[in-house]
Amino acid sequence: MVDLTAPLRPFSVMVKPVGSTCNLRCSYCYYLSKPRLGPARMSDEVLELFIRDYIASSTGPVVGFVWHGGEPTLAGLDFYRRVVELQKRHAPAGWQCWNNLQSNGLLLGDEWCAFLAENRFDVGLSVDGTAWLHDRFRPDTQGEPSYHQAVAAIERLKAHGIRPDLLCTVTAATAEEPLTVYQHLRSFDTGWIQFIPIVARIRGEITQDSVGPDQYGQFLCTIFDQWITRDLGRLDVQLFAETTRVLAGGEAGLCWMAPTCGRAVVVEADGGVYSCDHYVTARHRLGCLCGGDPGETRDSTTTVLRALVDSAAQDRFGQDKQTGLPDKCLACPHLALCNGGCPKDRLDDGLNYLCAGLAKFFAHATPKLTRLIEASRAGHTPAAIMAEFRAAGG
């Protein structure tokens, strides 16, 4: 039993209601190869255990739910109707539940979009830049293209009043077309773009489709210069926004930029809780919402999520990010921005595979973002700030 009088430390949960099941076969997917953990879809019993437990474990008054996959819409629309019903049932008076659905868009018809809009879901939608890049890396289960279905979902969501976050992976091929990719994504006018570098391994070797460190750095710098001279106030790019936040004295919202990790866990379809989305392995299984793991008990009054996230095993997992830094990281002028990056991308020497690219971007962007912060605090408008950067040659 958890001591509910103890101070609460915030954490987040990524829920996998259908596990690794997906209706695409993305070539770079790190989750598709995961074995199915439990049923094809999270049961109503496990769903209610999770929602009640997570709300009771949260600091409130807003509780954020992230529904991920695989492809989480494969759980069915009725599943999410049940989600909303249970959230309303278990949330204390004055609390709100916020939902984010990460999707490839293939199933997002008008009924889905109307439901998501009515219940104020945020939506992250994956689209890999241009049609040829998207279709090269994101075919469906029959090997057919999926780009036009993703674009149709974007437009359908917008028609229902939802401006989806656009998630674009960066492969070696994508990195060769930074402005084409950026301008294409910008044309959807959704207001938010995330670039997710692909670093994949086969038998320990980095794949050819993975973005190169220098490639990635140049990709970011090229897009950054376009953004800071043309698009301030119109859209945000996640890495640029997070870097600005840290330079302004705030804390990074991205786990890979934080000094330690471990406060973002995964709940699988069977109720199993794991250390991280990239570490859904037997070694990193923290326990189960339903009980059944060694030393666990479970009844209708027990709150276990907080205990698992605050456990010694998870604390070690999070601290390892910091304690494992090589000397080069510790001496780096950009350490406060990167903190060694995501542990999944570290090489045998402890250095992050993307180190050179991230350093290139931070060295390029930091002076301009520092000036952006100064100008914003002085009350300058985005238009005036962009004009200043254009006059200075970008």
> Would you name the residues annotated as active-site residues?
277
Residue spans of alpha helices (H) in the chain: 44-57, 77-90, 110-118, 131-137, 147-159, 172-175, 178-186, 213-230, 238-247, 305-309, 312-323, 327-330, 335-338, 355-377, 382-391
Helix (H, G, I), strand (E, B) or coil at 27: coil
Q: Which residue has the tokens 């119109």?
A: 234
| Kind of pairing between the strands at 272-274 and 285-288 | antiparallel
Rounded Cα distance between 17 and 343, Å, is 25
8, 93, 131, 155, 195 from 242: Cα distances, Å: 25, 32, 28, 27, 12
Contact (CB, 8 A) for 368 and 386: no
Answer whether 269's CB lies under 8 Å from 39's CB. yes
Residues 155-162: contacts with CB within 8 Å, 24+ apart?
156/108, 156/109, 156/110, 156/113, 157/108, 157/113, 157/116, 157/123, 157/125, 158/189, 158/190, 159/113, 160/110, 160/113, 160/114, 160/116, 160/117, 161/117, 162/113, 162/116, 162/117, 162/121, 162/122, 162/123
